[in-house]
Amino acid sequence: MSDINELRNEMDAVTLEMINLLKTRTDIAKQIGEVKKSIGKGVADEEREENLRRKIMKVTQEIGLDETLASKFLNFLLNESIKVQSENKQTHLSIFLKAKSLEQEGKKIIHMEVGEPDFLPPEIVKKSLSEVFDEGFMKYGQARGMPKFREALAKYVSQKFNVEITQENIIVSPGARFSIFSAISTLLNPGDEMIVIEPSWPAYKDCALNSGIKVRTINTTLEKKWEPSVEEIKNAINSNTKMIVLNYPNNPTGKILPEKLQDDIINLAKENDLYVLSDEIYSQYAKNNWKSILSYDYEKSIVTQSFSKSHAMTGFRVGYAITSKKIIEKMVKLEALCLTNVSEPIQYVAMKALESDTSSNSKLIQSRLDMLTEKANEMGLEFMIPDGAMYIFAKINQKDFDGVKFANNSLEKGIAIAPGEGFGNYKNFIRISACQDEKTLMEGMHILGNIMSDIQ
Ligand code: PMP
């Protein structure tokens, strides 16, 4: 009896010491965060993390501690540092909110920061909204979505992407965002690792951070046409790696991977038994050859889709995920817990929207991107001509250029643009959205040109 008490006291003392050390470590992380901010360095530093990981693995072997356990503990610590250093990170959303409050004060702002189509949803949406009451879609329903809607989605997806999908492979969610959150938080556990290729939409990382999952970042560059190297991805994989996230056509770069590279990445994922979360919400806006991850028929792939961009239905909050029945079951549990189900009237309206032809939306965005491309070239911006999506991700060739400062100053001059930093370590980049009519975009680009020549 006294033995166990002694051991327990010893364990308590060790735990208290660990808590004290955690406090010391968090304080140091904060200080490092301040220094990084003052010298304009991004939060995550893969190289340093990798060095520490190597040292820890060496010690782990020497002292005979389980490597997976040590690595999970390290991942927890690294995530905590990222959390304390990421406070006040500025993204396109913070610029958008600032723009909105300036507008309330009466200032005119041209919105080139948001990824929200300015055009209306298909005409049938209006009609369906008025039908929905009489049709009787207004009750609680299945968390995975209405069978009729999932059947329509299965047919739509099968035809569009030339695959065989049944309604059992589909879960309806309030926007792709929730499907992404759901896939990450139900399939991965704290301490697991997930690979994200940057630049990327920030929510993949934020979802991971929220669930205690460690993100391994693969940085791609404009010089290498935003293509990740398979070797680099391979090197980032270890026994804790559970998922890789893909998003092509990409937000913010507009990149579509060459088919061979995409094949190689999927093969690598298969070899390492990784989930592939493929966010394909910009597939409607693919200009060049693009192949859905569904075409690989990989049981551990989760493809997310949405009505937000393709059907200009951002405010309706409706999207869906396509995956194996096994994964659907896990995601359904979380959706039932959080939301019961996506609003039935909205599901009905989205089902009707599937009947509409949205090809004019793609043509419209494409012609705006062509125009933006021409203008941005004239202005001497460096960028890759987008293969799809709705954006241009451009480098500003100026010493010590700071996208966040630039975006904030630009608001004063009447344009809102997204700083590159919101998408990873891309301080000298800005993202310009093609979500306004051509005349407004031209006006916005003109203002941007003036601001740039002022700071030359
Ligand atoms: N994925 C990407 C790449 C996005 O850019 C966005 C929205 N900007 C979303 C997902 C979220 O879409 P939804 O409105 O369907 O939640």
Domain shared by 309 and 450, yes or no? no
Question: Which of ligand 1's atoms lies nearest the C-alpha of 282?
Answer: 3
With beta carbons less than 8 A apart as the criterion, state whether 423 and 201 touch.
yes
Ligand 1 mutation target, pool 207, 306, 390, most atoms within 8 A of CB: 306
> What is the rounded CA–CA span in Å between residue 181 and residue 221?
27
Does ligand 1 come within 6 angstroms of the Cβ of 280? no
Does ligand 1 come within 6 angstroms of the Cβ of 436? no
Per-residue pLDDT band at 83 (split at 50, 70, 90):
confident
Rounded to the nearest 10 degrees, the angle between the axes of helix 176-187 and helix 203-210 is: 40
Per-residue pLDDT band at 453 (split at 50, 70, 90):
confident
pLDDT, tens only, 409-425: 999 999 999 999 999 99
Does ligand 1 come within 6 angstroms of the Cβ of 251? yes
Strand 319-322 and strand 418-419: the pairing is: unpaired
Does ligand 1 come within 6 angstroms of the Cβ of 388? no
Domain shared by 292 and 213, yes or no? yes
Q: Which of 57-71, 84-98, 323-337 has the highest mean pLDDT?
A: 323-337
What is residue 455's predicted lDDT score, i.e. its pLDDT?
74
Per-residue pLDDT band at 394 (split at 50, 70, 90):
very high
Ligand 1: which residue has its CA nearest to atom 2? 201
179: closest CA among 344, 325, 319?
319
Per-residue pLDDT band at 153 (split at 50, 70, 90):
very high
Q: How far is the CA of 39 from the centre of ligand 1 (A)?
A: 31
Domain shared by 216 and 339, yes or no? yes
End-to-end CA distance of the chain: give it in Å, rounded.
77
Does ligand 1 come within 6 angstroms of the Cβ of 201? yes
Per-residue pLDDT band at 275 (split at 50, 70, 90):
very high
Q: What's the whole-number mean pLDDT along residues 31-55? A: 86
Does ligand 1 come within 6 angstroms of the Cβ of 319? yes
Rounded to the nearest 10 degrees, the angle between the axes of helix 438-455 and helix 403-412 is: 110
Q: How far is the CA of 78 from the centre of ligand 1 (A)?
A: 27
**Domain limit, last residue, from 313, 329, 353:** 353
Per-residue pLDDT band at 88 (split at 50, 70, 90):
low
Ligand 1: which residue has its CA nearest to atom 8? 115
Domain shared by 371 and 343, yes or no? no
Q: Is residue 289 part of a domain?
A: yes
Q: Is residue 77 part of a domain?
A: yes
**Whether the bond into 228 is cis, omega within 30 of 0:** no
Give the residue numbers spanning the domain of 156. 139-353
Per-residue pLDDT band at 292 (split at 50, 70, 90):
very high
Per-residue pLDDT band at 437 (split at 50, 70, 90):
very high
Q: How far is the CA of 281 from the centre of ligand 1 (A)?
A: 7
Q: What CATH number is associated with residue 56? A: 1.20.59.10
Which residue in this structure is represented by tokens 């896939």?
A: 183
pLDDT of 96 > 80? The answer is: yes
Domain shared by 203 and 246, yes or no? yes
Q: Is residue 256 part of a domain?
A: yes
Q: How far is the CA of 126 from the centre of ligand 1 (A)?
A: 23
The three-point CA angle 441-447-450 to 5° equals: 145
Domain shared by 166 and 303, yes or no? yes
What is residue 456's predicted lDDT score, i.e. its pLDDT?
67
With beta carbons less than 8 A apart as the criterion, state whether 382 and 394 touch.
yes
Does ligand 1 come within 6 angstroms of the Cβ of 115? yes
Domain shared by 313 and 188, yes or no? yes
What is residue 397's predicted lDDT score, i.e. its pLDDT?
85
Q: How far is the CA of 431 from the centre of ligand 1 (A)?
A: 15
Q: Is residue 402 part of a domain?
A: yes
Q: Is residue 1 part of a domain?
A: no
Does ligand 1 come within 6 angstroms of the Cβ of 250? no
Domain shared by 271 and 329, yes or no? yes
Does ligand 1 come within 6 angstroms of the Cβ of 183? no
Q: How many residues does the chain have?
A: 456
Does ligand 1 come within 6 angstroms of the Cβ of 200? no
Does ligand 1 come within 6 angstroms of the Cβ of 306? yes
Q: What CATH number is associated with residue 161? A: 3.40.640.10
**Whether the bond into 249 is cis, omega within 30 of 0:** yes
Q: Considering only residues 33 and 348, tell me which one the structure prediction assigns the higher pLDDT.
A: 348
Q: What's the whole-number mean pLDDT along residues 155-181? A: 96
SS (HEC) of 210-230: HCCCEEEEEECCCCCCCCCCH
Q: How far is the CA of 435 from the centre of ligand 1 (A)?
A: 14
Domain shared by 253 and 163, yes or no? yes
Looking at residue 428, its amino acid is N
Q: How far is the CA of 56 from the centre of ligand 1 (A)?
A: 37
Q: How far is the CA of 331 from the centre of ligand 1 (A)?
A: 18
Question: Which of ligand 1's atoms lies nearest the C-alpha of 200?
Answer: 3
Q: Is residue 162 part of a domain?
A: yes
Ligand 1: which residue has its CA nearest to atom 11? 177
Q: How far is the CA of 2 from the centre of ligand 1 (A)?
A: 59
445: closest CA among 347, 352, 358, 372?
372
What is residue 206's predicted lDDT score, i.e. its pLDDT?
94
Does ligand 1 come within 6 angstroms of the Cβ of 71? no
pLDDT of 175 > 90? The answer is: yes
Does ligand 1 come within 6 angstroms of the Cβ of 175? yes
pTM above 0.85, yes or no: yes
Ligand 1 mutation target, pool 153, 247, 255, 281, most atoms within 8 A of CB: 281
SS (HEC) of the chain: CHHHHHHHHHHHHHHHHHHHHHHHHHHHHHHHHHHHHHHCCCCCCHHHHHHHHHHHHHHHHHHCCCHHHHHHHHHHHHHHHHHHHCCCCCCHHHHHHHHHHHHHCCCCCEECCCCCCCCCCCHHHHHHHHHHHHHCCCCCCCCCCCHHHHHHHHHHHHHHHCCCCCHHHEEEECCHHHHHHHHHHHHCCCCCEEEEEECCCCHHHHHHHHCCCEEEEEECCCCCCCCCCHHHHHHHCCCCEEEEEECCCCCCCCCCCCHHHHHHHHHHHHHCCCEEEEECCCHHHECCCCCCHHHHCCCCEEEEEECCCCCCCHHHCCEEEECCHHHHHHHHHHHHHHHCCCCHHHHHHHHHHCCCCCHHHHHHHHHHHHHHHHHHHHCCCECCCCCECCEEEEECCCCCCCHHHHHHHHHHCCEECEEHHHHCCCCCEEEEECCCCHHHHHHHHHHHHHHHHHHC
Domain shared by 395 and 340, yes or no? no
**Domain limit, last residue, from 302, 319, 353:** 353
Does ligand 1 come within 6 angstroms of the Cβ of 176? yes
Which residue in this structure is represented by tokens 């659907």?
A: 328
What is residue 108's predicted lDDT score, i.e. its pLDDT?
94
Q: How far is the CA of 158 from the centre of ligand 1 (A)?
A: 22
Q: Is residue 9 part of a domain?
A: no
Q: Among 28-37, 263-272, 327-336, which is the least confidently predicted range?
A: 28-37
Token digits of residue 93:
């959303």
Per the structure, the count of domains in the chain is 3
pLDDT, tens only, 108-147: 999 999 899 999 999 999 999 999 999 999 999 999 999 9
Q: Cα 126 to chain center, whole Å?
A: 30
Looking at residue 234, its amino acid is K
Q: How far is the CA of 177 from the centre of ligand 1 (A)?
A: 6
What is the residue-averaged pLDDT of the chain? Answer: 94
Per-residue pLDDT band at 86 (split at 50, 70, 90):
confident
With beta carbons less than 8 A apart as the criterion, state whether 355 and 124 touch.
yes
**Domain limit, last residue, from 334, 353, 372:** 353
Tell me the percentage of the chain whose pLDDT exceeds 70. Answer: 99
Does ligand 1 come within 6 angstroms of the Cβ of 110? no
Q: Cα 327 to chain center, whole Å?
A: 20
What is residue 385's predicted lDDT score, i.e. its pLDDT?
96
Domain shared by 58 and 185, yes or no? no
The three-point CA angle 249-333-201 to 5° equals: 25
What is residue 1's predicted lDDT score, i.e. its pLDDT?
57
Cα 263 to Cα 230, 304, 387, 443, distances in angstroms = 10, 19, 18, 41
Domain shared by 339 and 409, yes or no? no
| Conformation bin of residue 42: beta by default, left when phi > 0, alpha when psi is -120 to 50 | beta
Q: Is residue 125 part of a domain?
A: no
pLDDT of 43 > 60? The answer is: yes
pLDDT, tens only, 189-238: 999 999 999 999 999 999 999 999 999 999 999 999 999 999 999 999 99
Q: What CATH number is associated with residue 392? A: 3.90.1150.10
